[in-house]
Structure 1
Amino acid sequence: MRRVVRRAFTLIELLVVIAIIAVLIGLLLPAVQKVREAASRMKCQNNLKQVGLAMHNYESALGGLPPRGQSWVPYSGWGVFILPYIEQEPLAKLYNFSANFWDPSNASAVSQPVKIYQCPSTPANRTVSIITDDDAPIVGINTGISAAVGDYFAPNCVDAYWWPAARYAAALDESNCPALGLGTRRRFTDITDGTSSTLLVAEMAGRPDWYVMGNKQPTNAGLRFPNWWGPWASYQSCIYKTWSTDGFTEGGPCTINCDNSRGIYALHTGGANAVFCDGSVHFLRVGLDRDIFAGLVTKSGGEILSEDSY
């Protein structure tokens, strides 16, 4: 009887199989990454939808939208005021509303991450070691408090420097330009441009790291207030800026995903998410016209904007 001899794989055959598997993995990996990013982008949109709904509920309960910040003492941002409306009542009870957000009495509260305020496309577990700056009573104090970050910022106004003088001045008016007032609850009836074409809050993600045109920078040296802006309990609002084509210089044609120092910035490919005053969420594309960009910020600038323009 003839004996059948089983041949093992040769080294060349094994190498061929390994090469085929490597090629398949290489083909599948980008697809998996795209699916993961699409899911993160949708989650980010849902976060902003929840923020918009919370602000609407706040407006219904208290007769106006939450202030984007106190004017000025005690210092707190809009993220603090809507805590009860995003199912964060325990955190709202922990937070001392009569003290500044960097006060030792608030150290425990501000260190708690709030998922709704963080885009899942950004690195997890980011914190900011708070050093006072900008309009704090005393600038440069290292508070020793580590705060969890938030990736969503409201506009204070918009630097539409290319507009004629009167329109430019109105766009830079931090008291009257945007939907959210400073130290005041603004009514929907004050938004005369229409709630469906006025921006409420948008992504300015990635802090305290500095990102420019999709690239994380080796240091945060060029980031405005890296130890002051970013905690979800902070002001989380700024002057929206346009940028040069390389993203490093303020003023220019770049409007979306240019620089997360000031303006609209996301770690998504092709654009950034924003919630409007009517509660709708839109993906603002890279390359958005700067007149449209500025017009979305102003609540009563008289601009006529159609949804297909952004």
Structure 2
Amino acid sequence: MTNSHRFIRPAFTLVELLVVIAIIGILVGLLLPAVQAAREAARRMSCSNNAKQIALGLHNYHSAYKQLPIHGGGPTNEFENSTGAAIRTDGRGFTRLELSYLVGLLPFVEQQAMWEMVSNPLNEPDGDVWPAFGPRPTLGSYPPWATDVPTFRCPSDPGFGLPALGRTNYACCTGDAFYDAEEGATIWNTGANRWEYETDARQMQRVRSGMRGAFVTRKSMKFRDMTDGLSNTIMFGEIISGLTDRDKRSVSFTNAKGGFVQVANNPKRCQDIGYIDPLRPRFWTAAANVTFSERGSRWADLHTLQTQMNTILPPNAEVCLVGSSDTYGMAPPSSQHNGGVHVSLCDGSVRFVTDSIEAGTSTTPTIYYRALSSEVSSTTPPGSPSPFGLWGALGTRASKETIDEDF
């Protein structure tokens, strides 16, 4: 065969190849957001399923024990209460009644193995000895407190590792006020060197006035207490865990805010001081001097920053505590989902609440009663309907608000 009859195979030119690559790049660029959105939708659904499992676990717990798990419980030393003594590693540590509602929930969310470890004494090879229910839940060397429980984590939340211990993304609702959400109904009587189990008259007056949610710290709560209706009362809500990045939803700052009265009388106190970054409104400025004990860092810990939420400020608003990381204050729910958060109502249903839910006027004083004649109580008196609109009303269990709109 002569060269003139030889078959010549067609091929791409360089220009054609570049055009094809460009087209593929454009298609990938168009499809990537859709793929990311689909992945987040799947994660959001998984988060909702976790919330449903926790809600079902709470209902099963209530069926078994005729009450919700106590937020702020655990066996303790009746004659000693120092934080240093509570974290001893020789078998004499104790909880200080600081265990969250999630600890008692363990066997009801398919965590029987973890429950067996927590509820029995533990002797470790390194010589550490732990009593049943462990030491104070701030101690990371006790294995259960440093373990992530998958059901307690939202897959959209990227937080992991130190300085947090075992993280959580689900916090119990203590209502539309915050006084006294750290101590609750049972307090340590320093003078008598003993615990007062709902026997201190002034403390009980404070709690009845200001702790209006489904959970009251260190007190047994039952579904019968939710007289506003189980379908009208939030049981728990979603929170982000801290990423050590000054996110206003996960950390508060320690600069002087004026103390309890100033924060309680203006829930937007932390914003009004001017420490939110105007260019990045989800973050505190560097001048805020934030304390990096962060939201959701200890699933076993009762403290406000760790496992409590309230319905004072709307979802995804800033955390604003009265003092350091173990004090009370504004603790709205938050999430890594766009536009809102998951909450579970006391009837076990899970709803997605948007950031724009009607929440009244956020500078209205919260409800608190200080009991001592030398102290001034709130200008919003105890027994008032929630001053924080539909959102606040959903946080109260027995304030007789009418829920007449969808959310």
Sort the TM-score into its range (normalised by shorter chain). Answer: 0.7 to 0.9
Q: Does 1:173 align with 2:210?
A: yes
In 2: Cα distance, 1:178 partner to 1:97 partner: 26
Report what 1:192 is aligned to.
227
Q: What SS does structure 1 have at the residue aligned with 2:344?
A: strand
Gaps of at least 5 residues in structure 1 are 130-145, 161-168, 244-254
> Hey, which of these two has a bigger chunk of strand by percent?
1
Report what 1:297 is aligned to.
395
The answer to whether the Cα contact below 8 Å between 1:204 and 1:260 also exists between their aligned partners in 2 is no
Give the counterpart of 1:258 among 317, 330, 337.
317
The answer to whether the Cα contact below 8 Å between 2:237 and 2:309 also exists between their aligned partners in 1 is no
Report what 2:345 is aligned to.
276
The residue identity in structure 1 corresponding to 2:135 is A
1:97-128 Cα shifts (integer Å, max 9, x gaps)? 26322346x6211121111111000115x135
Q: Which portions of structure 1, spanning 4 or more consecutive aligned residues, are displaced by more than 6 angstroms?
A: 169-172, 216-219
The answer to whether the Cα contact below 8 Å between 2:230 and 2:345 also exists between their aligned partners in 1 is yes
Report what 1:5 is aligned to.
8
In 2: Cα distance, 1:121 partner to 1:20 partner: 32
CA distance 1:218–1:16, shift in 2 (3 Å) = farther
The answer to whether the Cα contact below 8 Å between 1:69 and 1:182 also exists between their aligned partners in 2 is yes
The residue identity in structure 1 corresponding to 2:234 is L
Q: What SS does structure 2 have at the residue aligned with 1:148?
A: coil
Q: Which moved more, 1:21-30 or 1:64-73?
A: 64-73
Q: What SS does structure 2 have at the residue aligned with 1:309?
A: coil
Displacement of 1:202 after TM fit? 0.4
Q: Which moved more, 1:34-43 or 1:2-11?
A: 2-11
Displacement of 1:27 after TM fit? 1.1
CA distance 1:287–1:157, shift in 2 (3 Å) = same
Q: Does 1:233 align with 2:306?
A: no
Q: Does 1:123 align with 2:158?
A: yes
The answer to whether the Cα contact below 8 Å between 1:67 and 1:183 also exists between their aligned partners in 2 is yes
Q: What SS does structure 1 have at the residue aligned with 2:297?
A: coil
The answer to whether the Cα contact below 8 Å between 1:59 and 1:65 also exists between their aligned partners in 2 is yes
In 2: Cα distance, 1:158 partner to 1:150 partner: 22
In 2: Cα distance, 1:103 partner to 1:212 partner: 25
In 2: Cα distance, 1:230 partner to 1:268 partner: 19
Could you say what the CA RMSD is over the residues aligned between the two structures, in angstroms? 2.9
In 2: Cα distance, 1:172 partner to 1:204 partner: 25
1:158-193 Cα shifts (integer Å, max 9, x gaps)? 249xxxxxxxx999712xx11112222211111000
CA distance 1:222–1:256, shift in 2 (3 Å) = farther
Q: Does 1:102 align with 2:171?
A: no
- Decide which structure has the larger Cα Rg and report it: 2
Report what 2:99 is aligned to.
76
TM-score, normalisation: structure 2: 0.60
In 2: Cα distance, 1:217 partner to 1:23 partner: 37
Displacement of 1:264 after TM fit? 1.3
The answer to whether the Cα contact below 8 Å between 2:241 and 2:296 also exists between their aligned partners in 1 is no
TM-score, normalisation: structure 1: 0.77
Gaps of at least 5 residues in structure 2 are 75-94, 119-131, 179-205, 250-280, 321-330, 360-388
The residue identity in structure 1 corresponding to 2:117 is L
Q: Which moved more, 1:222-231 or 1:190-199?
A: 222-231
Displacement of 1:46 after TM fit? 0.6
